[in-house]
Amino acid sequence: MDNHNSLNSIPNKLTSLKTGVGNFLFIALFIVLALVAFLLIQVKHNESGPSIGGFQMFVVISGSMNPVFDAGSIIMVRSVSAEDIAVGDIITFNNPGDSSKIVTHRVVGVNEKEDLSFVTRGDANDANDRDLVLANNIIGKVAYHIPYLGYILNFAQTKIGLVLLIIIPGIIVILFEFRNILTCAAELDRKKQEEKHLLSATGDSESF
């Protein structure tokens, strides 16, 4: 009898495991979908870089800061006072030679003689940057980075990426939720039918 019960419990455990894995994948997919959608909205409405929780987000497009972070990484930049920046900090700034470009390099020197300015260099570069970075050119200091997320974000802005990363996952989420609703409805209907049969059987027995 015990062996029979153990064998019967195996399919139930497998079903529970399958349901748990399915729910986990659904939640993970929903989180990723929501994150990508949120970042895309931020990118569309913030030309200077999306702002998330007090941090500005930028996509790294070159390898000048290898091996700290590679091209395709997302960097989160926190606004700081220029006086709080020291040698060794990694800062994001408007390129003094071309203000339309944004650069992220390490501070290798601080010039305090006249106007506060900084000497910068990419970790992968052999020479310092040509122009000094003035305090008013500084956007902030890099707090942390997320590898490869920039590739996903850039891909999501293409037509194919929009379909693969937003539309198709969105349809999957809707279908998954619709299936759950149908399953719950079927389960409720089954329980109602069982209750009816039970009440019917009880009524028949009391009539004797």
Asked whether 38 and 149 are in contact (CB, 8 A), the reply is no
| Number of domains within the chain | 1
Task: Please check whether residue 123 lies inside any domain of the structure.
Answer: yes
- What domain range includes position 132? 51-155
Which of 46, 30, 67, 35 shows the shortest CA–CA distance to 145? 67
Task: Please check whether residue 66 lies inside any domain of the structure.
Answer: yes
Q: Are strands 138-146 and 133-134 parallel, antiparallel or unpaired?
A: unpaired
Task: Please check whether residue 1 lies inside any domain of the structure.
Answer: no
Task: Please check whether residue 11 lies inside any domain of the structure.
Answer: no
pLDDT in tens, the chain (208 residues): 455 455 455 555 555 655 666 667 667 666 766 666 666 655 554 455 667 778 888 888 889 999 999 888 889 999 999 999 999 999 999 998 887 889 999 999 999 877 899 999 999 999 999 999 999 999 999 999 988 877 777 777 677 877 776 777 778 778 877 887 888 888 888 888 877 777 776 655 444 3
Task: Please check whether residue 111 lies inside any domain of the structure.
Answer: yes
Which of 104, 120, 119 shows the shortest CA–CA distance to 68? 104
- The three-class DSSP label of residue 126 is coil
Task: Please check whether residue 83 lies inside any domain of the structure.
Answer: yes
Evaluate the CA torsion angle 78, 149, 67, 125 in order and state its sign. Answer: negative
Burial class (CB in 10 A: 0-12, 13-18, 19+), 119: middle
| CATH assignment of the domain containing 73 | 2.10.109.10
Task: Please check whether residue 145 lies inside any domain of the structure.
Answer: yes
Which amino acid belongs to residue 176? Answer: F
Task: Please check whether residue 107 lies inside any domain of the structure.
Answer: yes
